Amino acid sequence: MLGILPVLLCLFVTARCSTTVPSPNDFGSDLTLLFQNDLDWPLASQHNGTILVSKPTTNVQAVAACKQLNEVLLPTEGIHFSSDINSLMSYLAFRNGSPQQKFWVASRQTHLCSAISLKGGIQSVGCDSLLPAFCSQSAPFRPNTNIDPNPNFHVQVQSKKLSVLGTRDALTFRFVGIPYADPFERFTYSKLFSSTASINALNYGSPCTQIGLGSEECLFLNIYTPFIPANGAKSKDLRPVMFWIHGGAFLNGEGSDGTQDGGNLASRGDVVVVTINYRLSTLGFLALNDGVTNGNFGIADQITALQWVQEHIADFGGDPSQVTIFGGSAGAASVRAILATKLAFGLFHGAIAQSNLGGYGFASTYSKYFTIDESFTSFGVPLIDSVGCGNSTDVLSCLRNVPAMTLVGAPTVPSFIVVDGKFLTTNQLEVNGVGPAAHVPVMFGWMRDDGADFVGSLPTANSTLMTSLLGAGFPFNITEVVVGAPNLFPLPTGSDPLLDLYNLTSRVGTDGECIDQATLIAAAKHKVFPKIYAYQFDRSYDGFEPNGPAICQPPVAPGFPNGNPSLPYFRCHGGEIFFMFGSLGQDSAPFRDPNDLIMSQVAVDMWSSFARTFNPTPSPAFLTARGYINTTEALRVAGQWDPVTPESTKPLRFLDIPLSLSSFLEEEQCALLAIPFNFYG
């Protein structure tokens, strides 16, 4: 039997799990971590966060409550104290409707007690007044790193049979490496974690087995939350939940990837972010023809994690009735599959698919699924033979005894969604109103040059358009169509003929994602989803770079040592991740120009707005309350982002600064490539 245990239980971590670790239940108060997060990381340390202890108490009691958190009442000095605290109080008033509310802060004179309010500023009040308190927040900034074990910042959450030890940084409370599934046997479906346990959630759990790293004991999730309630499910102040499914071609990736750290999104968006691991490659997607081993173990893991969220997330501040699943690349394919999975209906309430692939070659499998027999014949049989189980009388038992790294490192590995009959009963997400499809709001989008990453290496001196397209894996009939339609697919005439070839090949590959436009058009026609939004990201940062960074990064220019995004470059697959997670501006990802910061602010605000309201355009009242000036201005210039309907003329939002709107793209080209807008009817 394999398992995600041993869990690091509190009885093995000595005093760090003692009763001295603060918990909202200890002093009967919600804890809210507030930080005026403008995502400008080089200047982040100039801003002061605070912990709101919401239960009204006397000043002496407030001091004691802050001390339990190893903090003091909030000092009122600092470069940005006045503007930051006004924005934070404005937002609290927006949420709770109490602009006159006063909060304890540090007293400026020893014999007086001080409070602060949105309308009255800092003022002296009677020390026996009953007020909520602003405590200091001295936890460090730790972007893209593992959890600091400093016990001064630890916090405890009780959730049903679980006692979970986490911590905080400058942005959020963090609980990482939480097991969400019971111990499981290889090639069986995971089941919800059911033990009574004290869990040390201070360090990320192992990634799932992939080439070169990971373990089969890997079904962990991570929670980034700005809010811990005292009453869990009884709280009326729970935040929307954003449930992230990482990409990586179903071959690699992990929920603890630093680029996808949920702290900034949770902090600025006031949402609870959950990221997960799920089984990959052979261990996650092997399907045999034995009637038992039906594949999709990785998809089943994602659904088990969603069940865990329904069971526990309220105790971490998240609203189980407002869960948005979102993912990129293989994560977007997972979102698409979960939308078609009846067993997942009711576990989520909105969905965002970022750069779901389609069209040709392996990309087509993200939108249309193999049968078990097809997967077994093409991938299962070669896998079985390559690992020495071909002559076994019990293939499944044999495979269960093969080292995990051998199974994921074989020459041909199964890493594809299949029609397993339990989770997926159709070979695609049906958007014609006939098959199973969760009736939830959705947002689909892609990078401007998504196909640049999937068309092989750069052409060589002897390349022609025909050989470039065939070398990129396009079928011969599609290649003939493209070559024969220079009016629809003109060859660029830049200074580098080989780059011109690559550019056109990339365009054809990107047009494979006509499948997503066709999906949204059909879904709108047949009213499959109540709201539908579409975007194209026209600004990217790094992304998937199989052909080297020179393709996916803008060229260095005078005044732009990290590249000038105004110059030509490919907006590559995955290039939106830094922006919508708000993780730009840190050491490994410096801003290239001022619009990188603005785009990051706008993207975080749009994604979190979708989670709150299922509309990616934040309300002006929300933006004003939060003090998000750049997003307010960007949206003022851009105009209304309307949902996709049969009548909408410009439903596609281009995401760059400035924002813009467009009709759907490449209609004639999509039709010529056999993916017309009416592909799904």
3-state DSSP of 599-657 = HHHHHHHHHHHHHHHCCCCCCHHHHHHHCCHHHHHHHHHHCCCCCCCCCCCCCEEEECC
Average pLDDT along the chain: 91
The reported pLDDT for the residue numbered 7 is 38
Q: Quick one: which of 347, 363, 345 has its CA closest to 478? A: 363
- Phi, psi angle pair for 102, to nearest 5°: -105, 150
How is domain 31-137 classified at the architecture level of CATH? Roll (3.10)
What is 151-409's CATH topology?
Answer: Rossmann fold (3.40.50)
pLDDT in tens, 109-119: 777 899 999 98
Evaluate whether 455 touches 502 at the Cβ level (below 8 Å): yes
Going from N- to C-terminal start, the domains of the chain cover 31-137, 151-409, 447-461+493-673
- In this prediction, residues 46-57 reach a mean pLDDT of 94
Residue 563 backbone class (left: φ over 0; alpha: ψ -120 to 50; beta: rest)? left
Distance between CA atoms of 79 and 321, rounded to whole angstroms?
40
Return the HEC string of 103-167: EEECCCCCCCEEEEECCCEEEEECCCCCEEEEECCCCCCCCCCCCCCCHHHCEEEEECCEEEEEE
Note the pLDDT of residue 9: 37
6 upstream amide cis, omega within 30 of 0: yes
Q: Is the pTM of this model over 0.85?
A: yes
- Which range, of 362-366, 484-488, 579-583, averages the lowest pLDDT? 362-366
Tens digits of per-residue pLDDT, 198-246? 999 999 999 999 999 999 999 999 999 999 999 887 888 999 999 999 9
Q: Mean of the pLDDT values across residues 263-277?
A: 97
Question: 330 with 366: CB under 8 angstroms?
Answer: yes
C-alpha to C-alpha distance for 150 and 482, rounded to whole angstroms: 60
Structure tokens at 198: 């004290």
Distance, CA of 300 to CA of 308 (rounded, Å)? 12
Do residues 139 and 33 touch, judged by C-beta distance below 8 A? no
pLDDT tens, position by position, 367-376: 999 999 999 9
pLDDT at 495: 84
Ramachandran region, residue 494 (left: φ > 0; alpha: ψ -120 to 50; beta: rest)? beta
Categorize the per-residue pLDDT at 147 as very low, low, confident or very high, splitting at 50, 70 and 90.
Answer: low
pLDDT for position 358? 81
pLDDT over threshold 60, residue 6: no
End-to-end distance of the chain based on CA atoms, in angstroms? 47
- Which pLDDT does position 497 carry in this prediction? 87
Phi, psi angles (nearest 5°) of residue 263? -60, -50
Place of tokens 């592909």: 679
Residue 201 CB-half CA count within 13 A: 30
Look at strands 227-228 and 197-200 and give their pairing.
unpaired
The residue with tokens 């436009």 is 517
Q: Strands 532-537 and 442-447: what pairing?
A: parallel
Over residues 661-672, the pLDDT tens digits come to 999 999 999 999
Torsion-angle region of 296 (φ positive above 0: left; ψ -120 to 50: alpha; else: beta): left
Please report which confidence band the pLDDT of residue 188 belongs to, taking 50, 70 and 90 as the band edges.
Answer: very high
Mean of pLDDT values over 561-583: 93
- Indicate the pLDDT class of residue 588, thresholds 50, 70 and 90: confident
